Amino acid sequence: MRRNLSHIAAMAFNEPLLLEPAYARVFFCALGKEMGAGSLAVPQQAVQLDADGMQLAVTDYMAGGQRPAKSYQVKNGIAILPVSGTLVHKLGTLRPYSGMTGYDGLTARLQMAVNDPDVRGILLDIDSPGGQAAGAFDCADMIYRLREQKPVWALCNDMACSAAMLLAAACTRRLVTQTAKIGSIGVMMAHTSYEKQLAQEGVDITLIYSGQHKVDGNSIQALPAGVRADFQRRIDEARRMFVDKVALYTGLSSEAVMNTEAAVYDGQAGIDAGLADQLINAADAVEVMVSALNDSVTKENTMTVKNLTVAEAVAQENQRVMGILNCQEAKGREQLAQMLAGQPGMTVEQAKTLLAAAPVAGTDSTGDQIMGLPEAKGREQLAQMLAGQPGMTVEQAKAFLAAAPAAGAAGTGDQIMALPEAKGREQLAQALAEQPGMTVDQAKTLLAAAPVAGSASVGDQIMALPEAKGREQLAQALTEQPGMTVAQAKTLLAAAPAASQPSQETLFDRFMAQHAASAVSGGGTAGRGEEDLLMSMP
């Protein structure tokens, strides 16, 4: 194949190159030899090579066992893309003997691998000292973009310097071998001047141009200081772009990348510098990647199962709550049902049992009418009991209330037993009620000073709650609930409507039996309280 040396020279001279320094010497020795250059100078290293030295540098490099570029292949679901030799912008079919890889060709193969259904991941097998800056950043950005679709790993085998480092940085993960060289995050530029050679040969070339910078960096004149400064600015800007891209791709800070000062790291040192992730044998690279991808799939499946478990738990909780709120037993007991649904661990069956034990809330105003009767004044306790009787009419309640004595007519003993202070001190209250001449105020003082009876069990305390009155069946059910506290039972009882009371006949008979005067037997006399009560009956 015919080589277009003038095209290569145009790309190599007066343009930023991302080349590892040692390879840059070999590259320019090979190119210079083809173009007829007689020497190569490296001022920074105080190196001056003649024609023989240039040939020796090329020969030594080529004798180093450079691998031929691999063809595209897939192994265990991993597409292996070789990236070797000098990296150039547009390779096409141009292949100098020193070997080159085009950014355009690499991008095309990447896109093919991403779209290949047989490919799970992509491995860039890199052995390159770098190359042109032109096209490098676009290629790296494409790798960075495509790695979101499929994993793209880089294997430094055995060199990924400069522009090759830029491509490796854009990959998802970077593997290095023990002898790998990685780094060289910097920019260089070469300028060739034939001014002295032309003068020696008596050749005079005149440049005719328009535009102050049109012939900056031409090869027939020494590089002017102003032009050199401009070139320095350009490569400094290119380095800043290089550093920022590596920082973006790898997660390192720009300062950390800049502080490498374009150093080249060997093997483990590259990992320590944050430029690589894992040290491996090159022969194991594919298996390492396959294993990592399998682990990733396992973790994703585990997370999916966990997410499903959470979703199922939410669905079950929603089903539990709605089961309590919508059950038949909740009808007419909505407030209690809502409180039960809010109790952690309360099952639908438990809630149904408690709801069934609670009375249904009244839907009419008969109870309010009974409590509002004039006859209920002074007889509020009896009126409350009558209001809770199913089927009790206002007229019936009015008759019962009219037949009962007012609270003020009760005996002193009854008033003492009804004192709030008598609660928990019933035995003492009974004894005080039987004391001749004992007044209600005296009994109240004595009861307040007396201790309350010993604490009962939780069940007894629940049954003794004021809220349990009229809700005895529900209170009994709550005492049987494991872990039920008095405070919880009190809240639930308060939320439930009062239960039905005894029948009208039983209630009236009991009331009259309690308040009727004692029969007079031989030698016996009725108490004064009973006599007063008897005389007060209409």
pLDDT of residue 95: 37
Residue 106 in domain: yes
Query: Is the pLDDT score of 127 beyond 80?
Result: yes
pLDDT of residue 447: 82
Q: How many domains does the chain have?
A: 3
Q: How far is CA 438 from CA 370, 382, 409, 417, 473, in A?
A: 35, 26, 17, 12, 38
Within 8 A by CB and 6+ apart from 58, the residues are 26, 29, 30, 33, 98
Question: Distance of alpha carbon 324 from its chain centroid, rounded?
Answer: 32
Residue 431 in domain: yes
In degrees and rounded to multiples of 5, residue 60 shows phi and psi of: -60, -40
CA distance 254 to 241: 10
Query: Is the pLDDT score of 13 beyond 90?
Result: no
168 by Cβ neighbours in 10 Å (0-12 / 13-18 / 19+) ranks as buried
> Do you know the residue count of the chain?
538
Could you read off the pLDDT of 253-298 as tens digits, one per residue? 999 999 999 999 999 999 999 999 999 999 999 999 999 988 876 6
Q: Tell me which H or E stretch contains 176.
A: strand 173-176
Domain match, 98 and 227 both:
yes
Q: What is the pLDDT averaged over residues 446-460?
A: 74
pLDDT band at 225 (very low <50, low <70, confident <90, very high): very high
Domain match, 154 and 264 both:
yes
Could you read off the pLDDT of 376-397 as tens digits, one per residue? 887 888 888 888 788 788 888 8
The DSSP letter of residue 248 is H
Q: The pTM is what?
A: 0.50
The SS3 assignment for 80 reads: strand
Domain match, 322 and 389 both:
no
Within 8 A by CB and 6+ apart from 242, the residues are 18, 166, 185, 186, 187
Q: What is the DSSP string of 358-376?
A: SPPPP-SSHHHHHHTSGGG
CA angle 104, 110, 116 (to 5 degrees): 140
Q: What is the pLDDT averaged over residues 483-503?
A: 77
| Contact indicator for 121, 74 with CB cutoff of 8 Å | no
Range of the domain at 429: 366-518+526-536
Query: 485-512 b/e with 16+ CB inside 10 Å = b?
Result: ebeebbebbebbbbbebeebeebbeebe
pLDDT band at 224 (very low <50, low <70, confident <90, very high): very high
The more confident residue out of 229 and 532 is: 229
The more confident residue out of 273 and 533 is: 273
CA distance 433 to 446: 12
Domain match, 25 and 87 both:
yes
Query: Is the pLDDT score of 535 beyond 60?
Result: no
Domain match, 192 and 246 both:
yes
Q: What is the pLDDT averaged over residues 516-525?
A: 46
The more confident residue out of 47 and 254 is: 254
Residue 212 in domain: no
Judging by DSSP bridges, how do beta strands 121-132 and 17-19 pair with one another?
antiparallel
Domain match, 349 and 378 both:
no
CA distance 240 to 238: 5
- Whether 84 is catalytic: no
Tokens of 246: 């590596």
| Contact indicator for 150, 110 with CB cutoff of 8 Å | no
End-to-end CA distance of the chain: 135
Query: Is the pLDDT score of 312 beyond 80?
Result: no
pLDDT band at 361 (very low <50, low <70, confident <90, very high): low
Residue 53 in domain: yes
Domain match, 70 and 175 both:
yes
Residue 216 in domain: no
CA distance 479 to 157: 77
pLDDT of residue 145: 95
Which residues is 40 bridged to in the sheet? 49
pLDDT of residue 494: 86
Within 8 A by CB and 6+ apart from 527, the residues are 411, 518
pLDDT of residue 521: 42
Which residues is 102 bridged to in the sheet? 88
Residue 364: is the preceding peptide bond cis (ω within 30°)?
A: no
| Contact indicator for 261, 55 with CB cutoff of 8 Å | no
CA distance 33 to 18: 21
| Contact indicator for 264, 20 with CB cutoff of 8 Å | yes
Q: What is the pLDDT averaged over residues 180-186?
A: 96
The more confident residue out of 312 and 212 is: 212
Domain match, 230 and 334 both:
no
Domain match, 352 and 370 both:
no
CA distance 447 to 429: 7
Domain match, 240 and 389 both:
no
Residue where a domain stops, chosen among 253, 280, 307: 280
- Whether 457 is catalytic: no
Residue 213 in domain: no
Query: 80-97 b/e with 16+ CB inside 10 Å = b?
Result: bbbbbbbbbbebeeeebe
- Whichever domain contains 265, its CATH number is 3.90.226.10
Considering 214, 299, 331, 377, which one is annotated as catalytic?
Answer: 214
pLDDT band at 64 (very low <50, low <70, confident <90, very high): low
Residue 217 in domain: no
Query: Is the pLDDT score of 488 beyond 80?
Result: yes
The more confident residue out of 123 and 316 is: 123
Domain match, 142 and 190 both:
yes
Domain match, 353 and 379 both:
no
pLDDT of residue 211: 93
pLDDT of residue 237: 95
Query: For all residues of the chain together, what is the average pLDDT?
Result: 82
pLDDT of residue 304: 57
pLDDT of residue 406: 66
CA distance 9 to 22: 19
Residue where a domain stops, chosen among 308, 340, 357: 357
pLDDT of residue 528: 52
Within 8 A by CB and 6+ apart from 373, the residues are 383, 394, 397, 398, 401
Closest CA to 115 of 150, 76, 139: 150
Considering 84, 128, 162, 184, which one is annotated as catalytic?
Answer: 162
Share of the chain above pLDDT 90, in %: 35
Query: 201-212 b/e with 16+ CB inside 10 Å = b?
Result: eeeeeeeeeeee
CA angle 99, 103, 106 (to 5 degrees): 90
CA distance 537 to 532: 9
Q: For 30-92, where are the E strands, in sequence order? A: 39-42, 47-50, 73-75, 78-88
User: What share of residues in the chain are helix, strand, coil (percent, to 5)?
Assistant: 50, 10, 35
Could you read off the pLDDT of 141-179 as tens digits, one per residue? 999 999 999 999 999 998 999 999 999 999 999 999 999
Residue 386 in domain: yes
